Amino acid sequence: MRARHTLVVTLAAGALLLPSTAASAAPPPPAVDLGREVLPPGDGWASYEGPTVPDGKPTVATGTTGGAAADPSQVYVVDTWQELRDALAGKPGGSQTDARTNTVPRIIYVTGTITAFDPATCDDFARQVTVSDTGKPFRMADYIAYYDPAGPWGKVRPSGPLETARIAAAAVQAATTLQHVGSNVTLVGVGDDAAIVGASVRIRDAHNVIVRNLTIADAYDCFPVWDPTDTAVGNWNSAYDNVSVWTSTSVWVDHNTFHDGAHPHSALPVVFGRPFETHDGLLDITHGSDLVTVSYNRLENHDKTELIGSSDSRLQDRGQHRVTLHHNHWVDIGQRAPRVRFGDVHLYDNLYTQTQEGLFQYYWGAGIESSIYAENNAFELAPGVDPGRIITRWAGTQLFETGSTVNGEPTDLLAAFNATAPVPLAPTARWSPADVYDYTLDPVEDVPALVRASAGAGVLSSGTPVATAAPGVAVLSDDNGQGTGLFDGSYTVTANLYWGQNATVAKLYENGALVDAEWLTGTTPRRQTVRFPVTGKVNGTYTYVVELLNPYGTSTSRPHTVVVKDASPAVAVLSDDNRDGDGSFTVTTSLWWGTNATHYALYRDGVLVDEQELVAATPRRQTVRTVVTGLEPGTYRFVAVLSNDAGSTPTAERVVTVRR
């Protein structure tokens, strides 16, 4: 059997990501630009090319490349929540609909910790909602007091003004903390400290999305709903997953860390005898999503970690929910690692660790019409935990499992479950991963060490090989007026980074608006130069700045002003050959030197009498002639107007007298 390795394909080449196993210390590898990498062929279901039907809408998958095809103008480095939202929407202040429906390829680098909100401010959301029957601001404390199952309300689902107000308060929070991700996006963390905290990231109605090297924590729900009918004792249910994949296809979630941040399950208060649950899943894949690879992630200290398929009643999800999970590390979690409905799900070379029994209920949930194929997974159970609890049945009928170990010993997990299960699971699967994609297993005895060393955020050497920090500041210049002496609206703005950390992208802004962008190559600290041609500017003043960007950050040049004063055609001179005054003559328009025209119009006494299209050859002479015939005796005033895209320039009036 071949040794497992993970090949990450860039636009031009591959890169080996696993750390060296050599005994001697080696220098760290050069940083890799994760934004340009794509999912390699054969890496799980997300590499599949073929038909899929998310939520009944047929489409054809072509692998997973994320935003690797992005234009340089669509590359962003963000370190605030609003910057991230704007980048996903594709414009400042864009809506969630903008973000969800945006299909323009984008690469978004996250640096540092981005905080969507502080749960200590939940009351600020609540105060924006008025309870209809009291006229007072909504408070979760009032909700809890009113719907106490031991009180007059009893064990009935909440309804009425307070429940309506809770729903409204939840919508206020969602407008601030729920963020949609559209198609053709790569969202990556830079370095070992990139994080998104307090947000729920929802990949919805999208295709071709990559999320890598991020810690995504604490998707905190200020307003969970109480359901006294959820189990015999009731439950508080939250609305937000750290990451959810809804009705989306071709998604790669790789080398991330998921947890509850400052609000772990152990710190939750108990209300009505149940944990006041402020989190839902860590990574849920639902609503007909399909073709997802989840690799090298760490999911820790959470109850319901990963749900694949949201409801037994969603029969439209049949044939969907095809997901591969490999080399992930679950640590001290309660359940759903994963729980599967309908899907063909491949689990291999994953590690499940317990430091204590804690929340643990089960790991693999075989749901309705699911087909789990599990290979070479390692389990480290706390003392006293029965291996028969690893698997549970949720209306499923089959599960194929092989090569598993429990605390280092080979164990038949399915046999352990079936030994006490009221309804056993068949040791089969309706599919085989080898028939779909080419993969190689790591030996199960190597899985614990390999996954510990390789899973989670901050493991990859992310950044760029051309620099180790944000780029230096460019100096701008221009050649406006050089060569011809004309300040005619066609010139080049040049940005020079004379020395320092190099950039990978340069963006040109004109009067505050992005007008051009270029990919750059370089080697720090050598000089970088980028030239932006500018054409077609009308007379006026233009202020330019250049933003240099690499995955570590951005820099902005000082403003540089260019004045255009010769964009419109130069002033021409009219002449005529009416020497005999007989009413038949030629009017000649001569532009001796300057910015040429592309259109000519001649007016006689304010009435258009001739038009011609011209070929510009600035600054050379332009001459246009109009033959005039048959004029009656009298005095005539001629004016020619020369035009180009920048404007129009009239000549001085030429008076012609016809005597006979």
Question: So where are the chain's domains?
Answer: 7-66+178-454, 475-564, 573-658
Would you state the torsion angle of the CA atoms of residues 24, 30, 34, 38, taken in this order, to the nearest 10 degrees? -80
Per-residue model confidence as pLDDT tens digits over 366-382: 999 999 999 999 999 99
**Residues 54, 392, 407: CA angle, nearest 5 degrees:** 115
Q: What is the pLDDT of residues 267-299, one digit of tens each?
A: 999 999 999 999 999 999 999 999 999 999 999
DSSP-derived letter for residue 73 is G
Amino acid in the structure at residue 92 = P
String of DSSP letters for 569-624: PPPPEEEE--SS-SS-EEEEEEE-SSS--SEEEEEETTEEEEEEE----TTS-EEE
Tens digits of residue pLDDT in 5-37: 333 333 333 332 333 434 445 666 779 999 999
For domain 573-658, give the fold: Immunoglobulin-like (2.60.40)
Beta bridge partners of 379: 352, 406
Element (H, E) at 100: helix 96-101
Closest CA to 397 of 411, 413, 412, 414: 414
8 Å CB contact between 238 and 279:
yes
Asked if residue 499 has pLDDT above 90, the reply is yes
Q: How does DSSP classify residue 436?
A: T
- Topology, domain 475-564: Immunoglobulin-like (2.60.40)
- The answer to whether 475-564 and 573-658 have equal CATH topology is yes
Percentage of the chain modeled with pLDDT above 90: 95
Among 100, 166, 314, 336, the one annotated catalytic: 336
Say how far apart CA 614 and CA 630 lie, in whole Å: 26
- pLDDT by residue (tens digit) across 320-379? 999 999 999 999 999 999 999 999 999 999 999 999 999 999 999 999 999 999 999 999
| Structure confidence at residue 660 (pLDDT) | 86
Instruction: Return the structure tokens found at 254.
Output: 């790789």
Tokens linked to 282: 């860590």
* Cβ(355)–Cβ(81) below 8 Å: no
Contact 275, 268 (CB under 8 A): yes
**Strand pairing report for 339-340 and 654-658:** unpaired
Residue 51: Cβ-neighbour burial (10 angstroms; 0-12, 13-18, 19+): exposed
- Give the pLDDT confidence score for residue 359 in this predicted structure: 94
The DSSP-derived string for 285-324 is EETT-EEEEEES-EEES-SB--EE-S-TT-GGGTT---EE
Tell me the pLDDT tens digit for each residue of 378-421. 999 999 999 999 999 999 999 999 999 999 999 999 999 999 99
pLDDT for 4 equals 40
Q: Estimate to the nearest angstrom the gap between the alpha carbon of 113 and the chain centroid.
A: 17
In this structure, are residues 119 and 198 in contact, taking their beta carbons and an 8 Å threshold? yes
Q: Please, what is the average pLDDT of the chain?
A: 95
**Residue tagged 């609540």 (tokens):** 126
Residue 628 structure tokens: 């005039």
User: What residues contact residue 168 under an 8 Å CB cut-off, 6+ apart?
Assistant: 129, 138
**Does residue 336 carry a catalytic annotation?**
yes
The CATH class for the domain spanning 7-66+178-454 reads mainly beta
For residue 116, give the nearest of 213, 218, 212, 194 by alpha carbon.
218
Measured CA to CA, the distance from residue 638 to residue 624 in angstroms comes to 14
The alpha-helical segments, DSSP class H, found in 318-418 are: 413-418
SS3 content of the chain, % helix, strand, coil (to 5): 15, 35, 50
Q: Residue 584 above 60 pLDDT?
A: yes
pLDDT at res. 10:
37
Query: Can you read off the two tokens belonging to residue 638?
Result: 């001629």
pLDDT at 76: 98
